[in-house]
Amino acid sequence: MQIAWHGSASISIRVDGVEILFDPHFSKKEQYGDWYEENPHAPKVADYLAQFSPGLVLITHGHFDHFDLHTVDAINQSKQPVFTGSTDVIWALQYYFQIPGERLLPLTPRQPTTFKGLEIRAFEGVHWITREEGTRVSEKLRGRPERYGVMPCGGPSLGIIITGKQGRVYISGDTLLEGIPQEEVDYAIIFTGGLCSHPVTKEPTKIIVDPQDIAMTVENNLKARAVIPVHYDFVPALEPLDVPAMVETISRAANKPKVVIPPYHTWIEV
pLDDT tens for each residue of the chain, 270 residues long: 999 999 999 999 999 999 999 999 999 999 999 999 999 999 999 999 999 999 999 999 999 999 999 999 999 999 999 999 999 999 999 999 999 999 999 999 999 999 999 999 999 999 999 999 999 999 999 989 999 999 999 999 999 999 999 899 999 999 999 999 999 999 999 999 999 998 888 899 999 999 999 999 999 999 999 999 999 999 888 989 999 999 999 999 999 999 999 999 999 999
User: 3-class secondary structure for 147-216?
Assistant: HCCCCCCCECCEEEEEEECCEEEEECCCCCHHHCCCCCCCEEEEEECCCEECCCCCCEECCCECHHHHHH
The three-state secondary structure class of 124 is: strand
Beta-bridge mates of residue 230:
191
Output 195-201 pairs: Cβ under 8 A, ≥24 positions apart: 195/237, 195/238, 195/239, 196/236, 196/237, 196/238, 197/236, 197/238, 198/128, 199/129
Q: What is the pLDDT of residue 200?
A: 81
Helix-helix angle 87-97:69-79, to 10 degrees: 70
C-alpha to C-alpha distance for 162 and 151, rounded to whole angstroms? 26
Residue closest to 121 by CA, chosen among 161, 152, 93, 81:
161
Fill in the amino acid letter for 194. G
Residue closest to 83 by CA, chosen among 110, 49, 55:
55
The three-state secondary structure class of 76 is: helix
Q: What is the pLDDT of residue 178?
A: 97
C-alpha to C-alpha distance for 196 and 210, rounded to whole angstroms? 12
Maximum distance among all alpha carbons in the chain? 50
Kindly write down the DSSP assignment for every residue of 214-236, as one continuous string: HHHHIIIII--SEEEEESTT-TT
C-alpha to C-alpha distance for 268 and 270, rounded to whole angstroms? 6
- Secondary-structure class of domain 2-263 per CATH: alpha beta
Residues with Cβ within 8 Å of 93's Cβ and at least 6 positions away in sequence, in order, are: 72, 83, 85, 99, 104
Residue closest to 196 by CA, chosen among 206, 187, 186:
206
Where do the domains of the chain lie?
Answer: 2-263
Contact 3, 12 (CB under 8 A): yes
Residues with Cβ within 8 Å of 220's Cβ and at least 6 positions away in sequence, in order, are: none
**224 backbone dihedrals φ, ψ, rounded to 5°:** -65, 145
